[in-house]
Amino acid sequence: MDLFSIYGQLGLSEAVWALGQRIEDGLRDRFREIDAVAEYNQAKVLAAMQACRIGANHFAATTGYGYNDDGRERLEQVYAQVFHTEAALVRPQITCGTHALTVALSANLRPGDELLSPVGLPYDTLQEVIGIRPSPCSLAEYGVTYRQADLKADGSFDYDAIRAAIHERTRLITIQRSKGYATRPSFTVAQIGELIAFCKSVKPDVICMVDNCYGEFVEPIEPTDVGADMAVGSLIKNPGGGLAPIGGYICGTKACVDRCAYRLSAPGLGQEVGANLGILPAFYQGFFLAPTVTAGALKGAIFAAHLYEGLGYRCIPSAGAVRADIIQAVELGSEAAMVAFCKGIQAAAPVDSFAAPEPWAMPGYDDPVIMAAGAFVQGSSIELSADGPIRPPYAVYFQGGLTWQHAKLGILMSLQKMTDAGLVAL
């Protein structure tokens, strides 16, 4: 049985398949560039693991307090080496990316301090953490104020507004690398470096934190290579390689990471406690595989942009743009199109392929959200997934795919479902 026969059994039409083949044929040079970055990052991770002398003994499980957990400590050394930082906190006790960001912010901001976002409104779930939308235990409840400088109309930094927003109480600047549920550009590491340099020229002692979710290993360098005091992310996104079932990381200066450890556990305890519960093999192996897995997801995002842009949809980033993360937004123009797109992604999943995603009221979001994610790890967005809030311009956000081949099939199935619903004519 040939490949198309199998895909035909999955519901893919010859017209959609043929269009996908034409798109893929035109991307071979672009894909070679992605593979070169993946090879560099793979070598970087391997060198760090060898330098830290990782052995099979470092996979041993610990329970209770987790005192003297050498495997946990070596993993944090590996992260610090890869991110070129003084310290790292990598723990299964960090439940998600929002939690990691909350730990980093609450640990390094004190009553009377001000938090500044120079890239506009933060991602939806962080708005309640900050107190932009009132919530119990927000930073606002503890006396931390917030200010933002919006981006210019073209998505670039408004340096005049940023300079005006920085003052003596500005303690920490948060920079969201990825677009979140916005249609602005995501930022490259070079752009982030320029922004950090500008902010520190205005206030040298300000802490610059980067929400690095979806950006790890997309480029040969990370925000901590260009001046970020902290880079923060989730292990069920890029750095977990699809194997980490939970967890988050904070890499940065020793002063910042020490405070994060005290906030995550307790003052006086810090990094000395936190049992690994047998999860370290997945953390180590996932991080080892992450550069290659990220490359596959990046190919899928670029393939999606070329496919849907060719059909007349606005894609952010555009098909030929330089990539800063694995997220591909496509403005579909209607709720019906979002639902059909997500049904296609779900239909291509290895898990729960029979489910039909529908919009629902997710915790932390103002609008109903539709989410397709037939994943081995619940909510893992390095696996094939697509989601978005049901609001104009009805943009769906596609990401992930543990292999390029799976990402490709997911995108083709999204188009198939839109075609079947009479929303696209090929």
pLDDT at 364: 74
Residues whose CB falls within 8 Å of the CB of residue 245, separated by 6 or more in sequence, listed in order:
236, 279, 282, 377
State the residue for tokens 């694995």.
326
Domain layout of the chain by residue ranges: 3-42+292-420, 58-287
**What pTM, to 2 d.p., does this model score?**
0.96
DSSP letters, 4-50, are HHHHHHTT--HHHHHHHHHHHHTTHHHHHHHHHHHHHHHHHHHHHHH
The 8-class DSSP code of residue 140 comes to G
How high is the mean pLDDT in each 10-residue block of the chain (426 residues)?
89 96 97 98 98 98 97 98 98 98 98 98 94 96 98 96 98 95 92 98 98 98 98 98 98 98 97 97 98 98 98 96 96 97 97 94 85 94 95 95 97 97 93
The CATH number of 58-287, from 3.40.109.10, 3.40.640.10, 3.40.190.80, 3.60.130.10, is: 3.40.640.10
Element (H, E) at 161: helix 159-165
**φ and ψ at residue 398, rounded to 5 degrees:** -100, 140
Q: Please tell me the CATH superfamily of domain 3-42+292-420, with its number.
A: Methioning gamme-lyase, C-terminal domain (3.90.1150.60)
Q: Are 301 and 323 in contact (CB under 8 A)?
A: yes
Rounded Cα distance between 46 and 26, Å, is: 32
Rounded Cα distance between 50 and 70, Å, is 15
Q: How many Cβ atoms are within 10 Å of 136's Cβ, its own excluded?
A: 6
What is residue 180's predicted lDDT score, i.e. its pLDDT?
84
